Amino acid sequence: MKTKLLTLGFISFFFFSLQAQETNAPAFGKGLFNLVGKDSTWTMKIGTRMQFLTIAEWSEGDDGGYGDPEQNFLIRRARLKFDGFAYSPKLKYKIELGLSNRDISGVSEFTRNTPRYILDAVVMWNFYGNFELWAGQTKLPGNIERVISSGNLQQVDRSLVNSRFNIDRDVGFQLRHHFNLSENFLIREKFAFSQGEGRNVTEGNLGGHQYTGRLEFLPFGQFQSKGDYSGSDLKREVKPKLMFAVNYDINKDAVKTRSNLGSYMRNDVGLYETTINTFFFDGMFKYNGFSFMWEYADRDADDPIAKNSDGTPTGAIVQVGTGLNLQSGYLFKSNWEVSGRYTNIKLDENITGASPQTQYTLGLSKYIVGHKLKVQTDLSYLSNDVGTDELMYRLQFDVHF
């Protein structure tokens, strides 16, 4: 019932907006339409996108061969996006809603057992000079691969390093600033204070709070069209461009196995709490169709083994360890791109019991209208030091309005 009402509300809002305001039909990929208030004190761009994904996975058998694959067809993402400014161009906002099952999953008593539709709901106020204050729910200033939109990825999806170590979205405040060290050398500072529970938590803060800091260095100036946060060198940078950054995140008294992600660590008196720290060193390089992205992640915790009040282990464990991701690609003038990725995960075996994993991925993409209309496919081989090796083939179609 709630889903039907929500859908009806969006449809009603859509038609009401068309009748109430003049629309300027934008180019493909620039939004469905743009609304502008009669007194020009507000704007709203409305867009949508979806990804259709098919996956086939093979596991190594006892005889060393690979049997029949497990197959899956998914609407990987289906989203509505709204952004613009309110009252003044210095006060911007963004709302993004996820409608696919993958986007709204993860309900619990801490989210009132309802689908988690809201991805982003944030206002951004440029209150002085190069300072911006953000408030609401959005991505924390974490690793580069996570902050890159899922619609702007170089390969079908993000790496294992991101899935193990990223710090995702949360509710709180962010302060952002940038300045030039020289004519071309740009430095950006990003700081966040957030709840530490992840997105859409409605029952309050169960543990402490989360503190995130990120420093970005661009020695050769800005990328075209924010290309440091977009996969592939679609703009074919005429001069080398580089962004590298260091990140540190402290989640004080965290109650989940992956900082503000993962499962809750429950014990006999409620929830187990421990402080979790995550470090990232990452960056992006682009030049004339060539791109290279790297990420190194390191996570530790004060006491990663969850315990009951009497000191006995509960079975829940913080996923501590390190990860390395190296990814590169070359975009041909035909807008076909070949890319490759190397990923290595080393969780602490003494704590997690998990053996090291290495994944190799070869990707092929055709950009029809940049990232807004594209077809991507990749083949991955996952090697487990102890356990069964795996093969995975993926094919994905993206369309963004």
- 3-state DSSP call for residue 107? coil
CA-based nearest residue to 394, from 74, 132, 80: 74
Q: For residue 258, give both structure tokens.
A: 């992956």
pLDDT at 288: 98
Q: Which residues pair with 128 in a beta bridge?
A: 131
Give the Cα separation of 398 and 233 in Å (integer).
Answer: 18
Summarize pLDDT for 341-397 with one digit per residue, the tens.
999 999 999 999 999 999 999 999 999 999 999 999 999 999 998 878 999 999 999
Across 82-89, average pLDDT: 95
| pLDDT level of residue 308 (50, 70, 90 thresholds) | very high
pLDDT at 207: 73
| pLDDT level of residue 20 (50, 70, 90 thresholds) | very low
Summarize pLDDT for 296-306 with one digit per residue, the tens.
999 999 999 99
Give the Cα separation of 352 and 190 in Å (integer).
Answer: 32
**What are the structural domain ranges in the chain?**
2-400
Give the Cα separation of 144 and 158 in Å (integer).
Answer: 11
Across 225-240, average pLDDT: 97
Q: Which residues pair with 283 in a beta bridge?
A: 244, 294
pLDDT at 391: 96
Torsion of CA 113, 106, 259, 298, to 10 degrees: 180
| pLDDT level of residue 229 (50, 70, 90 thresholds) | very high
pLDDT at 95: 97
Q: Which residues contact 5 (CB under 8 A, 6 or more apart)?
A: none
Indicate if the alpha-carbon torsion angle 85, 86, 88, 92 is positive or negative: negative
Distances (CA, A) of 248 to 166, 177, 188, 279, 382: 12, 17, 15, 5, 29
pLDDT for residue 26 is more than 80: no
What are the φ/ψ torsions at residue 153 (nearest 5 degrees)?
A: -80, 150
Q: Which residue has the higher pLDDT, 129 or 65?
A: 129
Summarize pLDDT for 263-286 with one digit per residue, the tens.
999 999 999 999 999 999 999 999
Cβ burial, residue 391 (10 Å; 0-12/13-18/19+): middle
CA count, 13 A, side-chain hemisphere, 128:
1
Q: Which residue has the higher pLDDT, 25 or 39?
A: 39
pTM over 0.85: yes
Across 310-337, average pLDDT: 97
Q: Which residue has the higher pLDDT, 1 or 165?
A: 165
Check residue 197 and report its DSSP letter: S
pLDDT at 204: 65
pLDDT for residue 175 is more than 50: yes
CA count, 13 A, side-chain hemisphere, 374:
25
pLDDT for residue 1 is more than 70: no
| pLDDT level of residue 65 (50, 70, 90 thresholds) | confident
pLDDT at 60: 86
Across 9-13, average pLDDT: 53
Q: State the residue for tokens 């690793």.
A: 143
Return the amino acid letter for 98.
G
Q: Which residues pair with 243 in a beta bridge?
A: 284
Across 320-340, average pLDDT: 98
CB 57 within 8 A of CB 390: yes
| pLDDT level of residue 31 (50, 70, 90 thresholds) | confident
pLDDT at 22: 47
What are the φ/ψ torsions at residue 8 (nearest 5 degrees)?
A: -60, -40
pLDDT at 3: 52
pLDDT for residue 119 is more than 80: yes
| pLDDT level of residue 112 (50, 70, 90 thresholds) | confident
Give the Cα separation of 212 and 196 in Å (integer).
Answer: 10
pLDDT, averaged across the chain: 92
Q: Which residue has the higher pLDDT, 113 or 240?
A: 240
CB 355 within 8 A of CB 342: no
pLDDT at 385: 85
Neighbours of 121 (CB within 10 A): 19
Distances (CA, A) of 320 to 80, 167, 267, 342, 351: 35, 13, 20, 20, 8
Q: Does domain 2-400 have CATH number 2.40.160.10?
A: yes
| pLDDT level of residue 28 (50, 70, 90 thresholds) | confident
Q: For residue 302, give both structure tokens.
A: 């004060």
